Structure 1
Amino acid sequence: MTLPKFDEGLTESQMISHMKRLGSMNKVFKSFIGMGYYDTFVPAVILRNIMENPGWYTQYTPYQAEIAQGRLESLLNFQTMITDLTALPMSNASLLDEGTAAAEAMAMCNNIQKGKKKTFVIASNCHPQTIDICKTRADGFDLKVVVADLKDFDYSSKDVCGVLVQYPGTEGEVLDYGEFIKDAHANGVKVVMATDLLALTVLKPPGELGADIVVGSAQRFGVPMGYGGPHAAFLATSQEYKRMMPGRIIGLSVDTMGKQALRMAMQTREQHIRRDKATSNICTAQALLANMAAMYAVYHGPEGLKAIADRVHGLAGTFAHGLKKLGTVTVQELPFFDTVKVKCADAKAIADAAYKSEMNLRIVDSNTITLSFDETTTLEDVDKLFKVFAGGKSVNFTAASLAPEVQTTIPSGLVRNSPYLTHQIFNSYHTEHELLRYICKLQSKDLSLCHSMIPLGSCTMKLNATVEMMPVTWPEFANIHPFAPTEQALGYQEMFNDLGDLLSTITGFDSVSLQPNAGAAGEYAGLMVIRAYHVARGDSHRNVCIIPVSAHGTNPASAAMCGMKIVPVGTDAKGNINIEELRKAAEANKEHLSALMVTYPSTHGVYEEGIDEICKIIHDNGGQVYMDGANMNAQVGLTSPGYIGADVCHLNLHKTFCIPHGGGGPGMGPIGVKKHLAPFLPSHPVIATGGLPAPENQQPLGTISAAPWGSALILPISYCYIAMMGSKGLTDASKIAILNANYMAKRLESHYPVLFRGVNGTCAHEFIIDLRHFKNTAGIEAEDIAKRLIDYGFHGPTMSWPVPGTLMIEPTESESKAELDRFCDALISIREEIAEIENGKADINNNVLKGAPHPPSMLMSDTWTKPYTRDYAAFPAPWLRGAKFWPTTGRVDNVYGDRNLICTLLPVSQMAEEQAAVNA
């Protein structure tokens, strides 16, 4: 494999110079475009101590709650913030972006109506990207999307499952939806409202208006625009629909000592359990950005947020008042919060004049402009705008002189009177010193890559090098609006083109789309490309997707979202796809075969022996091969999806290509495709996109993500990784990842059975150890071993997937032999602990594994009734004497938390009551 431009690999200093050159090509203009994206001040204490802090950005999704209590609390803060501001009782812990959150809400409406009503109506005052995403997503659900003005909504067909409105509207108007919502409900229609969190500090909240589902973005709460993302979206709803909600939900539970503890709630919604019946295909979201937004609310508190909102509203009002004094244009008379709509003779001429003063305005049509104000807008900016609208002439007033005269435009019936963010957490940390201590207190509860390897099979927790991370917070990359003219983002555009070339070369494909902003979004996009290809050929009847039972958990859910009929096929004794069963399935469905979803190497950690034959069978029967890119860490430089025979593959940039997991997100899931599929790659309604390089005869499938290039701000991480590694470095990384896995498997095979091996007795980059027999010999299960590993200072490997009762281990190339040995030593020591149970030296019900993990509160309690010593519980290995990571809770009870679902912060008095009830 030879990479264009970066074959040799750049040094770190060369990389920094290169990125500074690209950054200098980006022009950071003052943005008044709005449309769901606003400039914001990221408090430096949050920027340095969360966004730039590996103690926060290298954590994994909080599956092991006992070593994730810090970010779980922060995510609970986020949920509480959302429920308070929206006035709805349930919120998830973030979604990908506002547009896809609206599409998820549309799917909820469809599910609530049990698929019996097939029309979804969208108000024309919604953001254009949101409308297009919903249209794209509706195709897979066989839903009809109707876009109409509010006054033209028609429920007479009795076929409408839900409606979507924007509050405030995309052009700024603040409407009273009270009667509209009553009318919708009278017709059995659910109401989804897309909204703005800052506006909700002063506007009557959607829950009080009667909305059923509320979606939006928390971006303007201290998260950079970043040319489109990543940003934490949200979805709030009533308790009635909690089991239909997509995404992660954090809830309160108790640990083994009866003390309150947090964990991810309702785990039965996991995709690998429910497969095609899953609520959504989203498996992670935007935890890092949700934590930033939550901390922004903690830092400012309710009074601080309202002060920011009042100032933004005041600036918008001052601008509108000044335009009326000028008399050269017409200002919309409807109430507004932060966005002023202006009618003029020549919108382009005004926008061009603003452009010359380095300001971007939104042109709605030839006679309409909107201007959105934000936290960073100043009175001086408003004065510059006055001059633009005065044709470049000076005006005889200033924004400062007008401001005292300005009255709010919000009618009294829409002014918020209800309190929000009343919990003490949002009213305690308003100085940098206090917030810093709070952030560090939460960080200290969480294990990350700062502490030890996180050996998760299929999740590839590898080094996120500091130089890769540095450009992410540079203003030249962080402060650009995603809908700014592309000539202001030439550095980004060069990087996109280079990254497209690099990923095409690595995957063996002809074109790449960078738009999908998560692995799940990449799966969906890849399947929708295949769907669009079949439709373009007159084969719209091709809707069968063959999925092996060993496939990634999100695969069946993604196929279901595309309206595909899923045909499962089994595996053989070696863990490979049963080729004869696959052949029969393909031939039986020859006339309707759309795709095969396959993972290579397989999820069983071996190179699928017949992968070329498998691809040929699918192609011979008229289908396309979709390859899940989760295991690219064992392919890069050695083989490629395109070489093997796949037609499309998504790439988890947060796995193989080093974007950190962020405690549960962000991720990126670009897709690569063969030439015949390239015309169908997604585009965007505001800034046209397509494949890189651009294919001929573009027929885009629609829009996948809210921003044209997805979460563009984190693409420099993967770009820097590839550029610094170069061709040889990337190939060596794959080799070392495979070597490390085989070394560990060899060390452990005499202690634990290694479940699957390839023809030469080796595994790929990950392997599975079989623990099922311990249930019979010692009463020990996979969870017991994972929890005991916490006492040794490690996060457990992937547990009970893809095979129940096993652990799947992936060391990656990033770990040293010493760290691999330390982890192997821990597992060997645990095997000896199991042996003590097997030979009767330890009690089968009360032993060090069943008691794990052991937090200080347990070890330091006045009474100790365990049959083993406190020392043995806490320090089972010699290295722990020098550095010990302490879990903060005992084992958390998931079942209790689901039976007593509490997903927001409780007042101190109520927390005490809950704890008393547990103790009783």
Structure 2
Amino acid sequence: MTDRPTLDELTAGVPFARRHIGLTAADRQKMLSTVGYDSVDALLRAAVPASIWLDEPLDLPAAGTEASVTAELRAYAGRNKPMAQMIGLGYHDTITPPVIRRNVLENPSWYTAYTPYQPEISQGRLEALLTYQTMVEDLTGLPIANASLLDEATAAAEAMTLARRSSKAPKDAAFLVDSDVLPQTRAVVGTRADGLGIKLVDADLSAGLPDGDFFGVLVQYPGASGVVRDITDIVTQAHARQALVAVAADLLALTLLRTPGEFGADIAVGSSQRFGVPLMFGGPHAGYLSVRDGLQRMLPGRLVGVSKDADGAPAYRLALQTREQHIRREKATSNICTAQVLLANIAAFYAAWHGPEGLRLIAQRAHRYAAVLAAGLRNAGFQIEHESFFDTILVRTRGKAAHYVAAAAQRGINLRQAGDDLVGIACDETTTSERIAAVWSAFGVSDVDIAALDTATGDGLPEPLLRQSDYLRHEVFHSHRSETAMMRFLRGLAAKDYGLDRGMIPLGSCTMKLNAAVEMEPVSWPEFAGIHPLAPAEQTGGYAALVADLETWLAEATGYDAVSLQPNSGAQGELAGLLAIRAYHDANGDHHRDICLIPSSAHGTNAASAVMAGMKVVVVKCDDDGNVDLAHLRETLDKHRDDVAALMITYPSTHGVYEQAVAEVCAAVHDAGGQVYVDGANLNALLGVAKPGRFGGDVSHLNLHKTFCIPHGGGGPGVGPVAVRAHLADYLPGRGAVGPIAAAANGSAGILPISWAYLRLMGPDGLRAATGSAVLAANYLARRLSGHFPVLYSGTDGLVAHECILDLRPITKATGVTVDDVAKRLIDYGFHAPTMSFPVAGTLMVEPTESEDLAELDRFVAAMVAIKAEIDRVGAGEWPKDDNPLVNAPHTSATLAEDWSHPYDRQLAAFPAGVRPATKYWPPVRRIDGAYGDRNLVCSCPAPEAFED
């Protein structure tokens, strides 16, 4: 048998790339025929400028099999050493209820969903986020919370800028940070303050506020040292001096202690990590931020509110969307565009699973173990630093701190060394009597009757600070105590939503591609999930190797020299890159270079990030073809030649084309003394064919949650590493010249195995094939749909990159049918809408990704063609402009059961051509009234009676 496969070929089996890429060889040939090219390579060479074309293959490991890559990751995981983590400092071990781990964290219905900008098909995740907001509001005693932030440190930095905008203190007033704030929080706040030119003052606030003008105060409660203290005087003094008070509070502690709101605080921030979210070497974890009444319109990030649908029924949506960066741009109050939705949902469900009584028991358990631990050490002659504490104690060791920490490590327990004399020990949900005995043993204490000591030991919580108010009174926190009830609750929420598990999400600029199960599996492994971010290096060898691999591979794939994985969102990556540019100019004595040039088509976060980095935004026009207007760029560079710090450009462009002059644009900026920031949002169209670091980029951020397969999770987690040329390497976050941009050294390290596995499984050939398939799919859709909806921008030979913009403005002008109408009608056809009105109002930006097969692409084409036929019937007067399938979309099942008086039939409403009744997705609500929700802001769980009708 001359054609018999070799053993190696038989062992390898079907390459993973064939599983990831939806198109078969036959699909590609059919699509190439439609587009007019003989091969994918020919298509790419026609679309991509020859000046940036990459001739050599990527120098990456060859593709592995699913089995071999899983084995490699198992080996890396084995180099991590899970321990009993009693380090604390804002990170605590917790137990993820299996019903939540299996049905949410490991469920594609939850992790493949997109940000809920289409609320009618996002009611499940919006309800979960509203539950999260309600939980935070109740526990902090403040009436309004957002739908999560990236981590506790980021939340504190956002609180600082919120206070600056809201305070009536003098413009040159400083921000006051208590000395007992978590060190990682202080560091991130410092980075943000430096970018904005805000003066920070550090002080021990136990002695009161120092002299001077302050616009805000940040205090930790309980403190990083573990101490619990009354902050009434701090709040009173701060308010008397026109400063706002932000309290970084432990949510679990707030089940036992007076709330920030009861102290009169203006803002509360913190982390919800210990509510069922694994340690994950520091992330991803959902930070929280809540505010007093009057500050809600200053709130950063996303806010879920209750509005009503077309039938008047309550419905959830993102509220106050005018705060989003794509609208406010350089006037945005924050550059945050990503939340931590998946992790916030887990925390919310954890609270619903345990309820107020269960949470209180967990908090009491952590506190009682800490109290008994302290008593045993005190009885043995050790000095405990504080009389009042929640779950963390500081032990004086007569200069032997390192000895006792090492002795505990030998017993499988990590403690925190706080100098030569102090050891910090934090108890949590997982603490047991056996673990307490092991800690005593490390300190040379033995033969303690723990039960008797428990009976004889009082609490360490001050009586005046004990919480008296109720919390978590809403029915959602009392209705799901059995696993059956919780399982059905989670299933019911997921059934309301649309994720990649249902069908294509063709969102331009967002790259909603396959998140393969083999890539996702390691996230839940204890060797990755159970590692504290401050664990000793000898316990984290697997993470170190994985991070080193990823940094090397991402640098090679993009043409840069150094990479930091720390930024935990694309916006954070932008900020890190711009701070690096600013620090580089400062180091060269070019302090005056503070202008950031941004094309008019750019992502809204670009302008917001530039402002956060202390730069001034100057907009560069785009020409009629959607490219950077070279004449206007040169004119602008001439005008600001001595002051240009950077140009931010997205490539391929935000308009979805490969700009032919990109190398010329970069060279012009360099000639003016500026640096070039290439936004990596569209890297899905570049891997294997061009490298930003080679064609003129000095720095880029890379969206791992787009190009490298980390799931969007309903709006987070995201990871936005920053990659730089060699001259900027010393200015990466946390490496000296620029402070950290996230709380943990490696950001959301717990999900890095996903991108590691994707790169390892695809190999250089697979990555290039993915790029080719994405570009082919986009051009196929553009060609198929251009006769029905004009394609707004195209490049050489009428080609687009990995996405295309359909122009509905002429249709709207002629018929009154809007881009919103088409988006909502697509729901009836079983699709998530493309990106609406970005980057051009009145358009749809479509990105099919390489993961979809030809049948799904053709189904989308058929739906869009059918919708255009419906639009034509409106335009012809066959259906009234105010009563037709488009303006009434989406149609719910309840709608069909009502008396029908519309000029089109029920069949057309719910089962248009191509929609099979057996697989029909039914939206739970009709079209939602956004304006009503903003006028009548309700951002906590309404009573169940609101939904009875």
Looking at structure 2, the residues matched to 907 and 874 of structure 1 have their Cα atoms a distance apart, in angstroms, of 31
- Superposed, 1:826-841 pairs within 5 Å as 826-841=863-878
Shift of 1:399: 2.6
Q: 1:286 aligns with which of 316, 337, 340?
A: 340
**For each residue in 1:594-651, what CA deviation from the matched residue of structure 2 results, as whole angstroms up to 9, or x when unmatched?**
0000000000000112111110111111110011100000001000111111000000
Looking at structure 1, the residues matched to 63 and 717 of structure 2 have their Cα atoms a distance apart, in angstroms, of 26
Work out whether residues 305 and 317 of structure 2, in 8 Å CA contact, stay in contact via their aligned partners in 1: yes
Looking at structure 1, the residues matched to 128 and 114 of structure 2 have their Cα atoms a distance apart, in angstroms, of 15
- Partner SS, residue 796 of structure 2: coil
- Partner SS, residue 676 of structure 2: strand
**For each residue in 1:535-590, what CA deviation from the matched residue of structure 2 results, as whole angstroms up to 9, or x when unmatched?**
11111211000000001111000001111011001100100000111111112111
Work out whether residues 118 and 142 of structure 1, in 8 Å CA contact, stay in contact via their aligned partners in 2: no
Looking at structure 1, the residues matched to 172 and 921 of structure 2 have their Cα atoms a distance apart, in angstroms, of 53
Work out whether residues 863 and 914 of structure 2, in 8 Å CA contact, stay in contact via their aligned partners in 1: no
State the match for 2:470 in structure 1: 419
State the match for 1:129 in structure 2: 184
Q: 1:58 aligns with which of 112, 115, 119?
A: 112
Distance 1:153 1:540, change over 3 A: farther
State the match for 2:17 in structure 1: none
- Partner SS, residue 217 of structure 2: strand
- Superposed, 1:235-634 pairs within 5 Å as 235-327=289-381, 329-345=382-398, 346-390=400-444, 395-634=446-685
- Superposed, 1:1-20 pairs within 5 Å as 2-4=57-59, 6-20=60-74
- Partner SS, residue 476 of structure 2: helix
Aligned length: 892
Does residue 1:116 correspond to 2:171, yes or no? yes
State the match for 2:200 in structure 1: 145
Alpha-carbon RMSD across the aligned residues, in angstroms, is: 1.2
Looking at structure 2, the residues matched to 700 and 188 of structure 1 have their Cα atoms a distance apart, in angstroms, of 33
Looking at structure 2, the residues matched to 93 and 220 of structure 1 have their Cα atoms a distance apart, in angstroms, of 17
State the match for 2:273 in structure 1: 219
Shift of 1:147: 1.1
Shift of 1:155: 5.3
Work out whether residues 209 and 238 of structure 2, in 8 Å CA contact, stay in contact via their aligned partners in 1: no
- Partner SS, residue 240 of structure 1: coil
Looking at structure 1, the residues matched to 552 and 210 of structure 2 have their Cα atoms a distance apart, in angstroms, of 49
Does residue 1:776 correspond to 2:831, yes or no? no
Looking at structure 2, the residues matched to 293 and 421 of structure 1 have their Cα atoms a distance apart, in angstroms, of 13
Task: Give the AA of the match of 1:204.
Answer: R
Looking at structure 2, the residues matched to 3 and 496 of structure 1 have their Cα atoms a distance apart, in angstroms, of 19
Work out whether residues 782 and 807 of structure 1, in 8 Å CA contact, stay in contact via their aligned partners in 2: yes
- Partner SS, residue 451 of structure 1: coil
Looking at structure 2, the residues matched to 558 and 787 of structure 1 have their Cα atoms a distance apart, in angstroms, of 32
| Structure 1 stretch displaced more, 624-633 or 399-408 | 399-408
State the match for 1:641 in structure 2: 692
Unaligned runs of 5+ in 2: 1-55
Give the TM-score normalised by the residue count of structure 1. Answer: 0.96
Task: Give the AA of the match of 1:142.
Answer: G
State the match for 1:896 in structure 2: 932
- Superposed, 1:797-876 pairs within 5 Å as 797-861=834-898, 863-876=899-912
Does residue 1:201 correspond to 2:252, yes or no? no
State the match for 2:102 in structure 1: 48
- Partner SS, residue 892 of structure 1: coil
State the match for 1:88 in structure 2: 142
- Partner SS, residue 641 of structure 1: coil
Q: 2:750 aligns with which of 713, 736, 759?
A: 713
Looking at structure 2, the residues matched to 398 and 782 of structure 1 have their Cα atoms a distance apart, in angstroms, of 71
Task: Give the AA of the match of 2:180.
Answer: N
Shift of 1:363: 1.0
Shift of 1:210: 0.8
- Superposed, 1:649-660 pairs within 5 Å as 649-660=700-711
State the match for 1:695 in structure 2: none
Work out whether residues 547 and 555 of structure 1, in 8 Å CA contact, stay in contact via their aligned partners in 2: yes
Does residue 1:100 correspond to 2:154, yes or no? yes
Looking at structure 1, the residues matched to 391 and 475 of structure 2 have their Cα atoms a distance apart, in angstroms, of 29
Shift of 1:396: 2.3
**For each residue in 1:7-26, what CA deviation from the matched residue of structure 2 results, as whole angstroms up to 9, or x when unmatched?**
32110001110111001110
**For each residue in 1:652-705, what CA deviation from the matched residue of structure 2 results, as whole angstroms up to 9, or x when unmatched?**
00000000000010000001000000011112xxxxxx4xxxxxxxx4311100
Work out whether residues 219 and 232 of structure 1, in 8 Å CA contact, stay in contact via their aligned partners in 2: yes
Task: Give the AA of the match of 1:635.
Answer: L
Looking at structure 1, the residues matched to 180 and 386 of structure 2 have their Cα atoms a distance apart, in angstroms, of 16
Work out whether residues 136 and 702 of structure 1, in 8 Å CA contact, stay in contact via their aligned partners in 2: yes
**For each residue in 1:255-285, what CA deviation from the matched residue of structure 2 results, as whole angstroms up to 9, or x when unmatched?**
0011110000011111111101112111121
Work out whether residues 77 and 904 of structure 1, in 8 Å CA contact, stay in contact via their aligned partners in 2: yes
Work out whether residues 824 and 890 of structure 2, in 8 Å CA contact, stay in contact via their aligned partners in 1: yes
Task: Give the AA of the match of 1:828.
Answer: V
State the match for 1:694 in structure 2: none
Task: Give the AA of the match of 2:387.
Answer: L
State the match for 2:784 in structure 1: 747
Task: Give the AA of the match of 2:767.
Answer: L
Task: Give the AA of the match of 1:492.
Answer: Y
- Partner SS, residue 239 of structure 1: coil
| Structure 1 stretch displaced more, 529-538 or 470-479 | 529-538
Shift of 1:776: 2.0
State the match for 1:696 in structure 2: none
Looking at structure 2, the residues matched to 602 and 173 of structure 1 have their Cα atoms a distance apart, in angstroms, of 52
Unaligned runs of 5+ in 1: 684-689, 691-698
Give the TM-score normalised by the residue count of structure 2. Answer: 0.93
- Partner SS, residue 131 of structure 1: helix
Looking at structure 2, the residues matched to 151 and 21 of structure 1 have their Cα atoms a distance apart, in angstroms, of 48
Looking at structure 1, the residues matched to 387 and 133 of structure 2 have their Cα atoms a distance apart, in angstroms, of 32
Work out whether residues 58 and 688 of structure 2, in 8 Å CA contact, stay in contact via their aligned partners in 1: no
Task: Give the AA of the match of 1:555.
Answer: N
- Partner SS, residue 463 of structure 1: coil
- Superposed, 1:790-801 pairs within 5 Å as 790-801=827-838
Task: Give the AA of the match of 1:215.
Answer: V
Work out whether residues 652 and 667 of structure 1, in 8 Å CA contact, stay in contact via their aligned partners in 2: yes
| Structure 1 stretch displaced more, 350-359 or 418-427 | 350-359
- Partner SS, residue 644 of structure 1: coil
Looking at structure 2, the residues matched to 416 and 44 of structure 1 have their Cα atoms a distance apart, in angstroms, of 30
- Partner SS, residue 643 of structure 1: coil
